[in-house]
Amino acid sequence: MTKNPRFDAMVNAPWEDAPRLVYADWLTENDDPRGEFIVLQCRLASGKLAPKDVKAAKVREAELLDAHREEWFGPLEKWLREHDSYALSHVKLRRGFVSSCRLTVQHRDDLASLFQKAPLLEELELRGDAVAPVPQLAQLERLEAEGDVAESVLPALQTASSLVRLRLSMKPEQPLTLDLSRCSKVESLWFDSERITQVKLPPTLRAVRWSGDSTALVKALPPNLGTLGLSGAVISEELLGVLKRCAPTLEVLALDGAKFAKGQLATLLGWSWPRLKSLDLSNVGLGVDGAKLVAAMQAPQLEVLDLTYTRITDAGDGSVVRSADQHTQGRESAGEQAHRGGRGSRAQTEAHAAAAQPEEERAQRGGAESAGEEAARHTPVAVSRRLISCSPNLTNLRARRRAGRQAAFLSRGHVHHAEALPRHQPDWSRDAGRRRRRFLRAGCQRLLPHPCRW
């Protein structure tokens, strides 16, 4: 506690504006410009200012920060920079004080020192060594912890009544219990760990991202989830039943790297998904049959579909495209097709028409078809056309085939095709390879600055 009761009242109720405004008035009466700064940021955070007043408030806020930032926040920023050279990029100011930062723990009492320097923290990222937990963790709205420090603060989070978003990543040596049943405000949980024997979750949870063994999670999942991610999960019959229970309310489903038993994927994709907007099946072996199941999904609201590294082949393209055509026929008028136009639209039409040709006509041509025509008929654009036809709302699709290193992307009705790159390029540096993968993901139609020719 300090000698100023107004400051103590503000620290005891960090989520309320009234104590901050009382403290700001006291500062203004004592000719301290920080009082004006607190009032400005409280007004901006309330969202009740008119647009012209918002602009004027932000200009004045910038002027006060330029003149007094070193005085108000310099000691804390210097201390954070000593622990992490990139910590300043994570510092955020809200309602007159530091509300968010990142700390790389080096000493066991670093967390207590942080809350002494920034008692009104609302969001915190922790990484590094183990730390002594402090009661101020209960006031946080968002917490991200990675490494040994995540395991050390886990017991203190069982009574975090203000926590809304939680992300933990750890590798414990001993089995742990995750008990968040008393965290009545938690809405989002991202957990990456093994050796979890028991899980208790609050009914307020709406988004769960889980990496690792999901055996203990199955029985604890609350109903009415909107987002569910199970990276690398082994799909059991019990987990399949949970997915069926959540299917009517799910909007985002990520099953990247999931392991399905025979027939489970067909069962999953055969259900109705009335609200599903995003589906991630990357690193799941789909093959031809899986692609047909995806094309026949009952997901009218689907917008994002990730099929990266699913081993989709070109076998059976024609039949799948024809079935997708019957599903979407009549949904798009000729005027909308003409309005889209452009290269992407023509590429879709040509690839689609080529893939939909009857098998008899293909057989008659025999060897007359050149290698270029065969490649054009089996481009990833045709694969994209086949898959996006299952939903008229699909605006983003990622489909890459491992064999050819080819990618196709859909954005606002246009398919962008990134040509296959040579497999052997010994002079690619590590950074250039990263840029190359980013290029494929973005679907850009430009060359990246690199001496190698594409």
Whether 173 and 199 share a structural domain: yes
Q: Return the beta strands (E) in 246-358 as ranges.
A: 252-254, 278-280, 304-308
**pLDDT greater at residue 401 or residue 145:** 145
Domains identified in the chain, total number: 3
CATH number for the domain harbouring residue 354: 3.80.10
**pLDDT greater at residue 87 or residue 389:** 87
Share above pLDDT 90 across residues of the chain, in percent, rounded to a whole number: 45
User: Which residue in 442, 282, 438, 312 sits closest to 380, CA to CA?
Assistant: 312
pLDDT per position as a tens digit, 61-92: 999 999 999 999 999 999 999 998 888 889 99
**pLDDT greater at residue 311 or residue 299:** 299
Neighbour-count burial of 423, counting CB atoms closer than 10 A to its CB (0-12 exposed, 13-18 middle, 19+ buried): exposed
Q: What are phi and psi of 234, to 5 degrees?
A: -90, 115
Whether 325 and 454 share a structural domain: no
For residue 371, is pLDDT > 60?
no
For residue 274, is pLDDT > 50?
yes
Whether 81 and 154 share a structural domain: no
Whether 37 and 118 share a structural domain: yes
Residue that terminates a domain, selected from 147, 163, 186: 147
**pLDDT greater at residue 400 or residue 71:** 71
Query: Cβ contacts of residue 5 below 8 Å, gap of 6+?
Result: none
Whether 359 and 239 share a structural domain: yes
Round to whole Å and give the CA distance between 70 and 276: 48
CA angle 125, 128, 133 (to 5 degrees): 70
- Give the model's pLDDT for residue 244: 93
User: Which residue in 378, 439, 380 sits closest to 406, CA to CA?
Assistant: 380
CA distance between the termini of the chain: 64
Residue 382: what residue type?
A
Query: Cβ contacts of residue 426 below 8 Å, gap of 6+?
Result: none
- Give the model's pLDDT for residue 284: 86
For residue 368, is pLDDT > 90?
no
Neighbour-count burial of 365, counting CB atoms closer than 10 A to its CB (0-12 exposed, 13-18 middle, 19+ buried): exposed
Whether 2 and 61 share a structural domain: yes
Name the average pLDDT for the chain.
Answer: 76
Whether 412 and 429 share a structural domain: no
- Give the model's pLDDT for residue 9: 93
Which domain, by its residues, includes 65? 1-147
Average pLDDT score over residue span 226-254: 93
